[in-house]
Amino acid sequence: MECDYDAVPYWSYAHSHTDVAHLQTIGRLFALPATDFRKARVLELGCASGGNLIPMAARYPQSRFLGIDLSEAQVAAGRADVAALGLGNIEIRCQSILDFPESEAGFDYIIAHGILSWVPPEVQDGLLDLIGRHLAPNGIALVSYNVLPGWNMVRSVRDMLLYHCKRFAAPAEKAVQARLLLRFMAEQQLDAAGPLAVALRSEIAILDKMHDSYLLHDHLEQVNDQFYVHELMERAGRRGLAYLGDADIPSMVLGNYPEAVQAILGQSGDMLEVEQYLDFINNRRFRNTLLCRAEAPVDRLLSPERIATFHIRSHLVPETPPVIGGPIPTALSFRGPGAQTLTTSGQVITATLLVLWRNAVRPVSIDAVLDEVARLCDGVDAAARQGLLEAILRMVLNGALSLHADAGDHVVLVSERPEARPEARFYAAKAPRVPNARHEFIDLDLFEHALIGLLDGTRDRAALAEAVTAKVVAGELVVHLDDVRVTDPSVLVPVMAERVEALLQKFAQSALLHR
């Protein structure tokens, strides 16, 4: 069963782990002198309509971007978007990976997201050959793919879907029937705690968040190969490529696993071997593997000073925020990603996490953080600075903090005449998801779509409230107060003014504002 990409275009949008700024950050973390993402040459294989590549081209005007894809319809759509945004630093070609010219210059970053598992073996080889030929000496390639052992049970679910859906011709009907079958099978399991029941519920939870194009081009695609990470690296190694790391830093850190795992796997001196055993333990099903040249200078012995030149952003929130301007507590509890909790011990580390929390919208340079902490704590001596860098490194490795190459160019405070990022305004007019300055996708509702389209820097808050009110009066938006639909402008304007203000603050927090 194969779903035509022209008939059902793949829903193309920003993926933060593919951002060239993020790729350079990981390269720098391992001492690889990767090219500045602001002045790089970037290739994306299987770029679809450019939803992942175009926002990067918009944010990094001095870099050059090339995307290739086999779908004529998606390439045409991407070219139209490039023209509409007036971008001169990106080209989208209708071209096969196997036909990519050997004479093409090298690329600092190559992105192959969602391709390798879904193409025949000869194209898989061609993709790795291309990276081997065209990756720059200090370049980084991202290759994502379905991974074993995690896909073993999912493969059984896929086989059920393929069997059931082969009798339906229309892609939309296939998608509907696949979702119905999953629910039917999950409900009929005699052992609700059994492995198949768990797998079915897991797939339903994943697919409920996904567009039909994902279901059709992932689970129902004719080709869907899975690999162990050691198998991929054996193939990559034959092309002169080596394992740099994973796009998700915490997943690589042995210290994030139970002590028994650390004790056994810590005896191995082979990073790739450790990664493979961690996949076994995690039953991992998807990877974003970063490749570099085998001869590239990589140093994985991380020291606190290695991160001193980065910017950082916190994902920790204090359980009881202290009063701004009040004394810094010596101990404070924070909540982090997932079930992560952390309680500080000492005023300096508490001040550090509070400074980062108050600046969480935008990454802050480590020097700026240390300067602010020194101000709040009446100085930070050399020993305390070293201790802070060590603590910051630990929190980066466990995911409580994230490393960034720079602060980004989005604003934190809403201006008098707010302006959304041009690429966000553009995509808001045509898609449910818009890219932000961190190369994340942000899902917007109808009201948010309407407002962000008005944020061109020409309207103040009063004008924005009036413009949104006009859309409600015209029937483009619907507002209810006490379960009664409201269309009276005299009632709507103050309500809209309040809602507009709340959404402007939300857009600022979501890195969607340009000024």
Helix, strand, coil share (%) of the chain residues, nearest 5: 45, 15, 40
| Residue 448: how many other CB atoms lie within 10 Å | 18
Q: What's the fold here for domain 16-149+228-293? A: Rossmann fold (3.40.50)
Beta strand segments in 187-307, E: 226-227, 241-246, 286-293
What does the block give as tokens for 277? 């055993």
41: nearest Cα among 53, 27, 30, 29: 53
Which residues is 513 bridged to in the sheet?
A: 420
Cβ atoms of residues 316 and 396 within 8 Å: no
The ranges assigned to domains in the chain are 16-149+228-293, 151-217, 304-404, 422-509
Distance CA 463, CA 277 (A): 59
Q: What is the pTM of this model?
A: 0.90
The CATH label, of 1.20.1070, 3.30.390, 3.90.930, 3.30.70, for the domain at 304-404 is 3.90.930
| Helix (H) or strand (E) segment spanning residue 143 | strand 135-147
Q: Decide the pairing of beta strands 64-69 and 41-45.
A: parallel
| Per-position pLDDT tens, the chain of length 515 | 444 556 566 668 899 999 999 999 999 999 999 999 999 999 999 999 999 999 999 999 999 999 999 999 999 999 999 999 999 999 999 999 999 999 998 999 999 998 999 999 999 999 999 999 999 999 999 999 999 998 888 888 888 888 888 888 888 888 888 888 778 877 777 677 777 778 788 878 877 777 777 777 777 778 889 999 999 999 999 999 999 999 999 999 999 999 999 999 999 989 999 999 999 999 999 999 999 999 999 998 888 888 999 999 999 999 988 877 778 888 999 998 878 889 998 889 999 999 999 998 899 999 999 999 999 888 888 888 898 899 999 999 999 999 999 999 898 899 999 999 999 999 999 888 899 999 999 999 999 999 999 999 999 999 999 999 999 999 999 998 888 898 898 899 999 999 999 999 999 999 999 88
